[in-house]
């Protein structure tokens, strides 16, 4: 689990959607939209393209999936606020790394889409 000391500074960048996929987690059915954005720091040199995996969850994921017309590969997108996420884990004895940008505010089609924080349940007092 990420602690306060491990939290990353926010990032912002613009890119072109290179890949889109949507799923729901099991067993809670939380909506997850994953995008791969191609960032072109040097438009004249395609070899310098950076690919970044961006993940939106819950209401933000549903809002982006519900766009009409739908999101499409080649569409431009601005990540106004995103947070780097990195988790190391093991599967069958092999160490794997999950890295992405957790999306908080995105700008598409002239409109901002904002993630909503989940409220923590109030601690129950014994009694």
Tell how far CA 19 is from the center of its chain: 13
Tell how far CA 80 is from the center of its chain: 12
Residue 111 has pLDDT above 60, yes or no: yes
Is residue 109 within 8 A of residue 71, CB to CB? The reply is: no
Residues 6+ apart with CB under 8 A from 9: none
State pLDDT tens for residues 65-96: 999 999 999 999 999 999 999 999 999 999 99
Percent above pLDDT 70 for the chain? 87
Among 83, 71, 73, 74, smallest CA distance to 111 is for: 71
List the domains of the chain with CATH numbers: 4-114 (2.40.50.140)
Both tokens of 34, joined, read: 């994953």
C-alpha separations of 113 from 17, 42, 66, 96 in Å: 16, 27, 12, 31
Q: What is the pLDDT of residue 95?
A: 93
Q: Tokens 């990195």 identify what position? A: 86
Is residue 36 within 8 A of residue 85, CB to CB? The reply is: no
């Amino acid at each position: 689990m990420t602690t306060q000391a491990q939290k990353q500074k926010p990032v912002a960048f613009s890119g072109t959607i290179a890949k889109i996929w949507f799923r729901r987690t099991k067993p809670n059915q939380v909506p997850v939209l994953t995008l791969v954005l191609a960032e072109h720091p040097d438009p004249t040199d395609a070899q310098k393209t950076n690919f970044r995996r961006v993940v939106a969850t819950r209401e933000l994921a549903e809002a982006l999936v519900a766009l009409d017309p739908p999101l499409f590969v080649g569409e431009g997108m601005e990540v106004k606020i995103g947070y780097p996420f990195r988790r190391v884990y093991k599967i069958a004895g092999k160490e794997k790394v999950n890295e992405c940008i957790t999306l908080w505010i995105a700008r598409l089609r002239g409109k901002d889409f904002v993630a909503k924080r989940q409220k923590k349940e109030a601690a129950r007092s014994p009694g």
